[in-house]
Amino acid sequence: MSISRKRALERGQEAIELPKGQMAITLFHGKGGVTLRYQGRVVARTHASVVGRRLAPFLAQALGVELPPAGGKATAVVSSGILYRVLSMSTLDLRQEEARMLLDYLLREAEEMRRFRSAEA
């Protein structure tokens, strides 16, 4: 059974309600687009549309992983703050200039958060 993007985002918002330092996120690259899962539940998805295909590599980048080939998956352990930024990115329409500017900002923030976390370790 497929889950709508709206329901996935609702689940994503529930997952980040309480701040967490480590969340294992699985990024699956399927025929229908990219799906992000946390604890086995879909928390975000993009469709295999032009916009969804353009957005997918940026979601992977924000998580700190490479976008796997179709049919593949990658796992990242990130904070709820990074997941918040990824959820925000998943709603952007990159055909709009403002969305591309916001994407750049969110990517920089996610990178800084990952870098800060790795410096602590």
| Structural contact between residues 21 and 63, judged by C-beta atoms closer than 8 angstroms | no
Structure confidence at residue 96 (pLDDT)? 93
Copy the structure tokens of residue 108. Answer: 């920089």
pLDDT tens digits, 69-102: 999 999 999 999 999 999 999 999 999 999 999 9
Q: For the residues 97-113, what does the mean pLDDT come to?
A: 95
Alpha carbons 29 and 46: distance in angstroms, whole number: 10
Place of tokens 């969804």: 52
Largest Cα span, the chain:
41
Given pLDDT bands bounded at 50, 70 and 90, which one contains residue 6? Answer: confident
Residue whose token pair is 């539940």: 41
- Predicted pLDDT of residue 114: 87
> What is the CA 82 to chain-centroid distance, rounded?
8
71: left (phi over 0), alpha (psi -120 to 50) or beta: left
User: Considering only CA atoms, which of 77, 3, 61 is closest in space to residue 33?
Assistant: 3
Q: What is the pLDDT, as a whole number, of residue 112?
A: 93
Per-residue model confidence as pLDDT tens digits over 9-66: 888 888 888 878 899 999 999 999 999 999 999 999 999 899 999 999 999 999 999 9
Q: Where are the domains of the chain?
A: 5-116
Higher pLDDT, residue 118 or 75 = 75
